[in-house]
């Protein structure tokens, strides 16, 4: 099975690369020398916000007038050997203050001040502030079936150099009377890590992919994240219905360039996908898939080919993957360098 990718709406990878906040060229095999990310100019943080962040920094627990919590990190490639971590947090609709939109659209809407502060720590030095900023988040939700007790998830991403970081994020009402802070630690490997061996990101199960106008400003998104000109709606719960395809997306960093002299450099990657049951036995194996770029996007039919033997005789049947919990493995071989790597993600069929 040979494919480039299945990005929705004819999304062109190389057009995305050109408009990333910190483009992905250098983090793949199509790369240059590592370059340190230049942080934005240091923003003036309100005193009460700075004090709130410092209060809970040591324990990573702070004031929660608006209850929310960090629960997942995603790591994507970025320009110059840097990486683009996406921080995911969750909160109940009612706690975020959604109200009917004044536009009369029937949507629910809330406005929040979002403050962020990055700290960096190393074995040789204590934690120190690096940079911070502010973003005004205008978030919307469907009015039909709105439930104030329902918990939704949100994303925030920014390109960073290699290192160990702590993100402190503050959500505040416009009048600043309610404020909450949550913390998240993330470790980003240096470019040398994936120059000596393939480094594969965790596969994402994808609901939708869409090309959008890129926005360089730090922003909070509800139910999706952006990567340059790509809007990704992931299935973070990892639950799919029987008979549906499982579309996955991940990145292979450190792949060699097939022809360095080519006008448009390409990779030569072979990916073997396999589904395993909870007991570790193979449930589905597909033919190897070939990719010419480090972005791997593939729709996988969750259908088993079974050899049936009963009183009707022997035959081959195709059946949907049964209800249960599984693991998707992706074994990657760089056909140019010979290096190999594996990544995996759990999912459930209901």
Domains along the sequence of the chain with CATH:
38-70+87-152+162-189 (2.60.40), 201-349 (2.60.40.2550)
The per-residue pLDDT of the chain, averaged, comes to 88
pLDDT at 214: 84
Tell me, letter by letter, the H, E, C secondary structure of 51-95: HHHHHHHCCCCCCECCCCEEEEEEEEECHHHCEEEEEEEEEECHH
Average pLDDT over residues 31-50: 65
Q: Which of 45-49, 106-110, 244-248, 315-319 has the lowest mean pLDDT?
A: 315-319
- Among 169, 160, 166, which residue's Cα sits nearest to residue 134? 169
Output DSSP code: residue 46.
Answer: -
d(CA 157, CA 226): 8
Q: Which residue has the higher pLDDT, 306 or 291?
A: 291
Output DSSP code: residue 160.
Answer: B
Average pLDDT over residues 272-279: 97
For 35, 106, 208, 232, 246, the CA distances from 235, given in Å and listed in that order, are 32, 26, 9, 10, 10
d(CA 258, CA 300): 26
pLDDT at 8: 40
pLDDT at 21: 41
Express each pLDDT in 141-164 by its tens digit: 999 999 999 999 999 999 999 999
Q: Note the pTM of the prediction, 2 decimals.
A: 0.86
Dmax over CA atoms of the chain, in Å, equals 78
Q: Which residue has the higher pLDDT, 214 or 35?
A: 214
297 has pLDDT over 50: yes
Average pLDDT over residues 234-252: 96
Express each pLDDT in 203-238 by its tens digit: 999 999 999 988 778 899 999 999 988 999 999 999
Express each pLDDT in 98-150 by its tens digit: 999 999 999 999 999 999 999 997 666 678 899 999 999 999 999 999 999 99
Token pair, residue 110, equals 């809330």
Token pair, residue 15, equals 């057009």
pLDDT at 121: 76
């Amino acid at each position: 099975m040979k494919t480039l990718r299945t990005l929705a709406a004819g999304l062109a990878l190389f057009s995305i690369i050109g408009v990333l906040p910190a483009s992905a060229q250098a983090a793949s095999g199509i790369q240059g020398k590592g370059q340190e990310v230049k942080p934005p100019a240091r923003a003036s943080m309100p005193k009460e916000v700075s004090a709130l962040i410092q209060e809970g920094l040591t324990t990573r627990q702070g004031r929660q007038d608006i209850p929310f919590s960090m629960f997942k990190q995603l790591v994507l490639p970025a320009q110059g050997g840097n990486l683009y971590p996406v921080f995911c947090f969750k909160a109940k609709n009612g706690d975020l203050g959604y109200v009917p939109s004044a536009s009369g659209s029937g949507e629910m809407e809330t406005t929040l001040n979002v403050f962020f502060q990055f700290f960096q720590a190393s074995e040789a030095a204590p934690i120190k502030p690096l940079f911070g900023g502010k973003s005004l988040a205008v978030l919307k939700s469907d009015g039909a079936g709105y439930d104030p007790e329902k918990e939704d998830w949100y994303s925030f991403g920014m390109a960073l150099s290699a290192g160990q970081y702590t993100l402190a994020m503050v959500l505040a009402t416009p009048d600043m009377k309610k404020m909450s802070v949550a913390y998240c630690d993330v470790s980003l490997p240096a470019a040398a890590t994936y120059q000596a061996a393939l480094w594969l990101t965790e596969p994402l199960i994808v609901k939708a992919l869409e090309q959008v106008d890129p926005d360089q400003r730090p922003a909070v998104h509800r139910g999706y994240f952006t990567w340059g000109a790509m809007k990704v709606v992931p299935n973070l719960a990892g639950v799919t219905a029987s008979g549906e395809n499982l579309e996955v997306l991940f990145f292979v960093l450190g792949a060699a360039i097939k022809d360095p002299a080519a006008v448009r450099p390409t990779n030569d990657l072979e990916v073997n996908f396999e589904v395993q049951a909870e007991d570790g036995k193979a449930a589905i194996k597909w033919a190897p898939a070939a990719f010419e770029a480090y972005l791997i996007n593939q729709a996988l039919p969750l259908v088993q080919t079974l050899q049936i033997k009963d009183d009707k005789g022997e035959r081959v049947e195709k059946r949907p993957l049964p209800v249960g919990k599984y693991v998707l493995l992706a074994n990657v071989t760089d056909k140019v360098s010979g290096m190999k790597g594996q990544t995996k993600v759990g999912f459930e069929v209901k």
